[in-house]
Amino acid sequence: MHTVVVGTSGVTASDVLAVARDGARVELSAEAVAALAAAREIVDALAAKPDPVYGVSTGFGALATRHISTELRAQLQRNIVRSHAAGMGPRVEREVVRALMFLRLKTVCSGHTGVRPEVAQTMADVLNAGITPVVHEYGSLGCSGDLAPLSHCALTLMGEGDAEGPDGVVRPAGELLAQHGIEAVELREKEGLALLNGTDGMLGMLIMALADLDTLYKSADITAALSMEGLLGTDKVLAPELHAIRPHPGQAASAANMLAVLKDSQLTGHHQDDAPRVQDAYSVRCAPQVAGAGRDTMAHARLVAERELAAAVDNPVVLPDGRVESNGNFHGAPVAYVLDFLAIAAADLASIAERRTDRLLDKNRSHGLPPFLADDAGVDSGLMIAQYTQAALVSEMKRLAVPASADSIPSSAMQEDHVSMGWSAARKLRTAVDNLTRVVAVELYAATRAVELREGLTPAPASRAVIEAVRKAGVQGPGPDRFLAPDLAAADAFVRSGQLVAAAESVTGPLQ
C-alpha cells in the first residue's frame, strides 16, 4: 500500500487524494516529530507562567478574557471539543472526512501548533485504521476554520462520539479505538484548539473537486467535438492561429483537444457543400472560449490550493523565535472565493453543453437530423426528455453558482463578525461537479447517436473509438424508444470513471 510521509513543509494535492480516496497509509517524518516536540516545549513553558496566553491559559472566542487556572486546563480542552462538535444534518462523505483529518495533521506537523507528538501520531493511527469520524453537513461558517467538522474528528481522538469502522458500521469511537489498539488522547493546553482551527474541510473538497474537474473538462471537450460532428459544424474555428491571437491558455488547450478528437473527420464542414452556413451557433463555435475560461479559473484555484497546502493554519501559532501569537490566518476567504469561482465556471460549462444537446434534437436547427433523434418521430419521442433532465440539472447548477462567500453571518457574540462560508461553498461545489458529470453524459448520449445517424459520412477515428467504447459500456445506439434511465446511468458511469477520456486518448494520445 502507498505510504504518505508528512513533514513540516506541507503536503501535495496527490498526497491528499491518496489518503482521502485511496486509503494510503500515513507516517510522520522524524523532522515533523522533532518540530512537534520543540513547539510543545514552548507551549509548556508559557503554560507554567502566570501571564495569560490565548488558547493556552484562557477561554476561547468571546470568552478569551477569562484566565484559566492550571487544574482546569485539561477540562477546558475537552470542553472546547465537546461543545464545538455541534454539527447537524446528513453525514459527510468518507473521503471528505479523511481529507479533513489528514490536512489537519499536515498543519499539526508543521511545528506551529504546539501539539504533542503523541497526539499527531494518534491522528495518523486513526487514519491508518480506517476509522472515520461521523461529521455532519452543517456546523461550519468557514471561520475560525471548519470548527464543527474538525471538532467531530477531535472527539474521535478522545474516544468519544461516533465513528465508522473500516467495515462501514457506525459504532462508539471508544470501542473502535480499543479494537484497533489505539489509546484515546487526553488533551493538554492548546491542543483542543489546535485540532479545530483550520480550513481543512473546504481545502480537501477543493482539491478533490479540482481532480474531478480536470477529467470533466477533457470530457466536455470530447463531447463538444462529437456534437460539432453531429451538427456538421466546421472545425476551422479551432485553428491554433485563431486562438494564438487571444492568448488565454485554457482556450488554446480546449481548442487543441477538440481538434485532436476531430482529426480526419468527414463530418466537419460538410454543410458547406450543400447547405452553406456562414457560421455555427455560439454553443458550437465558442466551445473552446467557454471551456477555456473554466480551465483558467481552475488554474487559479489550483494555485490557491497549493499555497494553502503549504500553510500552517492555526490560532494562535508558535513562531520559530518562541513567540505564540494570535492571527487571522484561519479565515477561509482565499479558499471560499475559488470554490465559488469553480461553481460558476461549472454552471456555464453545463449550460453550453445543454444548448448543444438541444440543437441536436431540434429538427429546425440540426441540419437534417430526425426530430429528437427519434427512430420514428411521433411514435417515438427519442431523447426529448433526456434533454429535460439535462435542463433540470443545469438549472440547479445555476442556483448553486450563487456565491456562498458573498454572505456572512456574525457569530460568537460579534467576536467572529465576518465569516467566509467556505464550507458551504465547498459543499455546493461538490453537488455542482456531480451534476456536471450528468450533463456531459447526456450530451455524450445525444452526440454519439447523432453521429451514428449521419449515414454515409465517416466520423473521426477518435470519435469512432468513443462510440465503440460507450456502446460496449451498455449505452445503446439509435433505435426505437426504450427505458432511457439505464442508458443515461451507463453514460454517467462512463464519464465519471474516466472511460470517455481514455477512449478518446487511445487515438489522440494524452489530451491537455
The set of catalytic residues is 54
Half-sphere exposure of 36 (CA within 13 A, CB side): 22
Listed in sequence order, the residues at least 6 apart from 75 whose beta carbon sits closer than 8 Å to its beta carbon are none
Task: List alpha helices for 129-236, DSSP H.
Answer: 147-157, 173-179, 191-194, 200-230
Question: Taking phi first (over 0 means left), then psi (-120 to 50 degrees means alpha), and beta for anything else, what does residue 181 get?
Answer: left
Planar angle of CA 31, 35, 39, nearest 5 degrees: 175
Residue pair 77/189 in contact (Cβ under 8 Å)? The answer is: yes
- Give bridge partners of residue 131 from the DSSP assignment: none
Residue pair 68/76 in contact (Cβ under 8 Å)? The answer is: yes
Cell of 208: 478533490
CA 67 from centroid of its chain's CA atoms = 41
- Dihedral angle of Cα 370, 374, 378, 379, to the nearest 10 degrees: 140
Residue pair 182/126 in contact (Cβ under 8 Å)? The answer is: yes
Cell of 178: 480499543
Residue pair 477/383 in contact (Cβ under 8 Å)? The answer is: no
Cell of 34: 522533532
Half-sphere exposure of 300 (CA within 13 A, CB side): 17
User: What is the spatial order of strands in the sheet that 162-164 belongs to?
Assistant: 132-133, 162-164, 170-172
Query: What is the 3-state secondary structure of 109-176?
Result: CCCCCCCCHHHHHHHHHHHHCCCEECCEEECCCCCCCCHHHHHHHHHHHCCCCEEECCCCCEEEHHHH
Cβ atoms within 10 Å of 91's Cβ, excluding its own: 18
